Structures are given as C-alpha cells and as structure tokens.
Structure 1
Amino acid sequence: MEWLKKLIEKHTKDGVLNQEELIKEVNTEFPKHAVPKETYNALAETKTKLEKDISDRDIQLEDLKKVDAAGLQAEITRLQGENKTAKETYEKELKDLTLTNAIKLAIAGKVHDESIVSGLIDKTKLIIGDDGKIVGLDDQIASLKESKAFLFKEENQNQNNNQKAGFQKIGNPPPNDPAAMDAAIAAAFGNTTEQK
C-alpha cells in the first residue's frame, strides 16, 4: 500500500486532498498492484482442482503397486484414458469459468438482470485469445442491445440520479432545462420576441 500513500501525498496540497485527480491516478495504478477478483477466483479454483488431481494421482500410484505384472499394461491404458478425459473436462470447465467471468464483468451494472443476459450469450461462439481477451463478446452484447434493448439499463439513467432530491417549487422548470435557460439569457439581454 506504499504506492497509495505516495499518491495521496502527491495529490495533497496545503493540507487539501484533490480527490478527482487521486481517483484518476488510483484507477490507472491499481491494476499494476492488484489482481482482479475474477482472475483471483479463477486461479483459486484452478489451484483447488490441481491439488485434488495430485491427490488422485497419488492414490492411483499406490494402487499400481498392488497390480500384478500381467495386468499392469491394461491398468496403465485404463488410467491414461481416465487422465485424458479428466484433462479434457478440466480444460472445458476452465474455459467455461473464464468465459462466465468475462461475460459477468462486461455486463455488470449495464443490465437489469445479469443472469438472463449472460444466458443469452452463446459461449460456443466466443474465443479466448492468447492475450486473455474474449473475441466476439462485444459483438454479441451489441447485438443484444439492438434486438433486446429492454434488458439493458439506459445510459443516461445515472445522469437522472444526479438531480437534486427534495422539494421544488411548483411552476418552476426542472433544473438545467435548456429552454428555460435560453429564455432567461434572452430576457437578461433584452432579446425578447415580444413587440411593443
């Protein structure tokens, strides 16, 4: 957390913290010092799976010691088949987990129901690139926005939340109403359309 202390010191001037600049720089620097939650979860699940696989292999080796020489070849062939199947299953589960996390991250806060939208995305058409980026995800999300726009939150919804809460006088135009502002400016400069 030393990097965070340095950023706070950098953006504090005369005892006042410039929060906007600090947040911008924290957002830039944070990925260099931390692992995203989705990546950590994927790695933790992989570690647990690998530890179980190692335990299973140890048991298999112990069982091999008990096998007679004549049945050894058949046992090895059987275990190779099981290990191949286990590897394919593991790779499929890891790919599914990676795609699921990427989809959730891409639609987080942008849709009304994440489980419905993530269920509409066809994982078979997504490709995990060498750099870890998911190819085809943005296209599917854009297509869903066009065909099923009702599933997505309006982008200006957050702006509406910024309006001041509380009582307002009846008859006053809403804050930041462009027509009311134009009329007020015109009246201030005497540019009213009324003819006397």
Structure 2
Amino acid sequence: MEWLKKLIEKHTKDGKVDNDALMAEIKTEFPKNAVPKDTFNTLSEAKKKLETDVTERDKQLDELKKTAGASEELKKQIETLQAENKAATEKFAADLKDLTLTNAIKLAIAGKVHDEDLTAGLIDKSKLVVDGDKVVGLDEQLKGLQEEKAFLFKPAGEGENKPGFQPRVGSDGKGNNSDDKEQPASLRDAIASHLKQNLGT
C-alpha cells in the first residue's frame, strides 16, 4: 500500500491531514491500486479511525489557537498535538504495510497448503520488504518451509494453483483459474483482478 502511504504524506502538512484533497486523490488512484474486498474493508476502517483521530486533534488545535495569546506554553501544546498527529499517520502507514504483507502471503499460498492460516503464521514478516509490486524475501521463506515442513503443503497436482509462489487470483478470488480470463502477472494485477470480481457492482 505504498501508494496510499505516499498520498497521506503528500496531503499532510505540519501534522495536519487535508482530508478533502486526500479523499479526492484516493478516488482517482484507487482503481489503479485496488485490493481485495476484505482487505479494502479493513483499510477503510483503519482510514476512518485515522481521520477521526486527526479531526479530534485538529479541533483541539483550533481551540488552543482561540485562547488568550500565543504564549510559549500554548506553542508547546500545539507542537505536542502536531507530533501526535504525525505519529498517528505513521502508525497508520505501518498498519497498511502489515496488511499488504498479510495479503501477499495469503495470495501466494492459496490452494497450495492444507492450512493457510497456520502456514501464513510461520512466515517472518520482519524479513519481508515491499518493493513496488513485489514482496522481497517471501519466495525464499516459502521454499524453505516446503523443504523443512513439507507436510504443510499439498502434494504436487493437488493444489489448484500452478507451481511457484507468484500470487494468482482467478474468477473465484481464491486462486482458481478462470476459464476465459488471462491470469494477472503481478501482485498489483492480482489484487486489482480480485477487487473487480468482488466490487464490480
């Protein structure tokens, strides 16, 4: 979700988020950087919480500015609130990164393991790096698990996905191939394809 993080940073000045400008640009960029419906709902809730927190702090800043004079004490209070706004934005960005990694892991193992939640829990997210459409280090960890804990994985041919750990999303949103549609070639394409199937109407 690097795109959303950049938008938030772009529309944040002095610890204050320009919600109108942010929402306008999100509406423009969202179709290009879409995520599956369940992840989108989670992100939407997280964004709403961030906006609520920022709005509350903005109100506090306005109230402080209306009080008697811009004393040194008042300036310190404003600076503290602005720092809290910045911290809230940074936390939101970190949460988005975690959701991105979780989504990438689940897409990569869909249909290939007996227990997706168990297998996903064995992946060390701290060693993964989001690099555009790729999650660096995920392929290596999955291959390591397949060698060390082969019992987690379905026998060759039993899984519904093709060999390899590139995320693929088909018409049913679970990794199954669609009959008539070409498989997406990247994580972004896979996510966008899944969103179209779930939010197309």
Displacement of 1:139 in angstroms is 1.1
- Between the aligned partners of 2:140 and 2:118, the Cα distance in structure 1 is 17
Structure 2: tracts of 5 or more residues without a match: 1-30, 161-201
Match for residue 116 of structure 1 among 99, 118, 122: 118
Q: Does the aligned pair in 1 maintain the 2:109–2:116 contact within 8 Å? A: yes
Displacement of 1:94 in angstroms is 0.6
In structure 1, the partner of 2:48 is 51
Q: Which moved more, 1:134-143 or 1:38-47?
A: 38-47
- Between the aligned partners of 2:83 and 2:41, the Cα distance in structure 1 is 27
Matches for 1:30-179 after TM superposition, within 5 Å: 38-67=35-64, 68=67, 69-70=70-71, 71-130=73-132, 132-157=133-158
- Amino acid corresponding to residue 154 of structure 1 in structure 2: P
- Amino acid corresponding to residue 45 of structure 1 in structure 2: T
Q: Does the aligned pair in 2 maintain the 1:64–1:72 contact within 8 Å? A: no
Displacement of 1:128 in angstroms is 0.7
Cα RMSD between the aligned structures? Answer: 2.7
Are the structure 2 counterparts of residues 153 and 122 from structure 1 closer, same or farther at C-alpha, using a change threshold of 3 Å? same
- Amino acid corresponding to residue 95 of structure 1 in structure 2: K
Question: Larger relative contact order (C-alpha < 8 A, sep ≥ 6)?
Answer: 2
TM-score scaled by length of structure 1:
0.55
Q: Does the aligned pair in 1 maintain the 2:106–2:120 contact within 8 Å? A: yes
Displacement of 1:37 in angstroms is 8.1
Matches for 1:181-196 after TM superposition, within 5 Å: none
- Amino acid corresponding to residue 48 of structure 2 in structure 1: E
- Amino acid corresponding to residue 136 of structure 1 in structure 2: G
Displacement of 1:112 in angstroms is 1.0
Q: Does the aligned pair in 2 maintain the 1:125–1:136 contact within 8 Å? A: yes
- Amino acid corresponding to residue 50 of structure 2 in structure 1: D
Displacement of 1:122 in angstroms is 0.8
- Amino acid corresponding to residue 89 of structure 1 in structure 2: K
Which structure has the larger Rg over C-alpha atoms?
1
- Between the aligned partners of 2:159 and 2:127, the Cα distance in structure 1 is 32
Output one character per residue of 1:100-126: Cα deviation in whole Å (capped at 9) or x when no partner. 011011111111111111111111111
3-state SS in 2 of match to 1:109: coil
Are the structure 2 counterparts of residues 57 and 111 from structure 1 closer, same or farther at C-alpha, using a change threshold of 3 Å? same
Are the structure 2 counterparts of residues 36 and 109 from structure 1 closer, same or farther at C-alpha, using a change threshold of 3 Å? farther
